[in-house]
Chains A and B, each alone.
Chain A
Amino acid sequence: MGSEPAIRAEGIEKDFKNVRALAGIDLEIDRGSVFGLLGPNGAGKTTFVRILSTLLRASRGRAEVAGFDVRREADEVRARIGLTGQFAAVDNDLTGRENLVMFGQLLGIGKTRAKTRADELLDRFGLTGAADRTLRGYSGGMRRRLDLAASLVGEPEIAFLDEPTTGLDPRSRLELWDIVEDLVAQGTTVLLTTQYLEEVDRLADRIGVIDHGRVIALGTPEELKDAVGGRVIAVDVDTGDVDAAVAALDAEGGKVVVDREAGRLNVPTDGAARVADVVRDLDAAGVGINGLELHSPSLDDVFLTLTGTRASDEEGEER
């Protein structure tokens, strides 16, 4: 197989009754890489992952995972993937160990091997102490870790992590990031979906930004951040002053992204030095500054830049 991509999607579309969840996605993901799929709720991330992991059928288009067609060779695909969703797909009445052994047996690795594998994973995920408790006594973070462990029982070539950190506290999120980095070090291909830019920034080799069922930007984190403009100076002015402010700041040559309703201007910057320029220009134009902050681009900034609209929550997602 060699250079064949881990995941290849061609024109994937999905319609739910009268909602178009995916409007044609083409994507190739290299083996051994981490691909971050970034988008707001309802963008189609989960739908896409469910199609690639054989849980959902595409309305149109085709996809290959690990070199196998997700529709015609679903079991071949299933033997080579691991899936962790936003909602832990584990059995709450069983213990952590029982869950892992059961999934191992259902993967067909045999009971003895499944037991060894369960011990390894419990140890690696810091769950050995809780191994023989039922999941009802687990915290949210522990359950999510076990869910991730369950998806790795079969030593998958490709791991789908669908919003693995949504709803987790910061500490659990950091632990999960470590685990993902471990996985990658072992050569696993990871497709990660998230709403957090900093997550893909930290973990992903390449990023796809998805909105309304389409990939609207594709590239490395650096390329994406360049598109947004690195760090951003956010200036709040009176809504009546927006035009004057834009005129004053355009002289700086950067592309200013404006949110008129909020009276906020996002000025891309290369370094903190430009804050002084912004203040001076606005002052010269007689625009009063209500607030000013320097921050790294957020998902919202990415969307404002790429689409001119906010990354708003929309209905129509999934499950």
Chain B
Amino acid sequence: MTTPLMRRHSPLTDVWVLTVRNLKKVTRVPQLLFFSLVQPVIFLTLFSQVFRSIVDTPQFQELYPGISYIQYLVPAVIVTTVSLNASASGIGMATDLQEGVIDRFRSLPMAKYGIPVARSNSDVIRASLQAVFMLLVSMVIFGFRFEGAWWEAILSILIVLPLNWALTWVFIALGTATKNTETTQLAGFMVTLPLMFASSAYVPIDALPSWLQEIASVNPLSYTIDAARALALGLPDATGEIPASLLSSAVLAVIGLVLAVPAWRRTLRQ
């Protein structure tokens, strides 16, 4: 009989190993990586053309006098694209559950909650890299410039991460509950599209139809878009927008976790 190997049990090791694994998987599908980087360029090009006339409306002139549409748009596109890429968490979760590898994880003496935690972690790391990439593209191709202080510029990027983290849990709940990649993808669109457009991302909320204004004003994305934009453009009292952004992300995180934890527990306890 072989002697049992020395085993040390740290849930943190499990989380770390699985986070690295998830990130490696991203690099193994270069097509996916390519399109996830090209997508924001397409968004910026399209939206900056389609919605540019919004600049001439009185609502826009009143709120953002002298600001070009691309300056208005870039922080919002970064926030929406990066935060909503959390839907990849749901797809990753569903893919893992569909494939046999989850059975092996379950048959190992490891921290089982490490699986969703690592999923969330790796997607937040990926989101940070994407945010930096999008920022560079915006500056080089679209001529975007920060107009506030340097620390405001940094905060305007960092502020998307809590929102992204909160959203990963919403999508992890979705992917865990459906256990199906296609369903998760379709259901994901139904969540992300309204969040994207019923928000302050592309036009000021005041310029939206009144029923949409109500949705946009409870949309957690709106708060983070407003904060990121105010910080990036150096608007007066930009830091005043931060608490609302963090609070709305926290609320979203609570919703996500309340849905994800029982879904995961059900999955473990078949």
Q: Which residues of A contact B (CB under 8 A)?
A: 32, 53-57, 75-76, 78-81, 83, 85, 87-94, 98, 102-103, 105-110, 113, 134, 150-151, 154-155, 157, 186-187
29 contacts between A and B (CB under 8 A): A53-B107, A54-B106, A56-B270, A78-B109, A85-B103, A88-B100, A89-B100, A89-B104, A90-B100, A90-B101, A91-B101, A94-B25, A98-B21, A98-B24, A102-B21, A103-B104, A103-B108, A105-B17, A106-B108, A106-B110, A107-B5, A107-B109, A108-B10, A109-B6, A109-B7, A110-B6, A134-B28, A155-B4, A187-B1
**A87 CA to B99 CA, complexed, in Å:** 9
- Which parts of B94-123 form the interface with A (CB within 8 Å)? 99-110
Task: Tell me the nearest residue of chain B to A56, going by C-beta.
Answer: B270
Other contacts beyond A79-B7, A89-B103, A94-B21: 5, CB < 8 A:
A75-B109, A85-B100, A89-B102, A110-B8, A134-B28
Secondary structure at chain B's binding surface: helix, strand, loop or mixed? Answer: loop
**A81 CA to B106 CA, complexed, in Å:** 12
A239 to chain B, nearest CB (A): 45
**A155 CA to B1 CA, complexed, in Å:** 10
Size of B's binding interface in residues, CB under 8 A? 32
**A278 CA to B47 CA, complexed, in Å:** 87
Q: Which of A75, A134, A155 is B5 in contact with, Cβ under 8 Å?
A: A155
**A87 CA to B100 CA, complexed, in Å:** 6
Residues of A within 8 A of B8 (CB): 108, 110
Q: Indicate if the CB atoms of A93 and B24 lie closer than 8 Å.
A: yes
Q: Indicate if the CB atoms of A105 and B99 lie closer than 8 Å.
A: no
Residues of A within 8 A of B109 (CB): 75-76, 78-79, 107-108
Residues of B within 8 A of A98 (CB): 21, 24
Kindly state whether residue B241 has any CB partner on chain A within 8 Å. Answer: no
B223 to chain A, nearest CB (A): 36
Q: Which of B1, B2, B9, B25 is A108 in contact with, Cβ under 8 Å?
A: B9
Task: Tell me the nearest residue of chain B to A136, going by C-beta.
Answer: B28
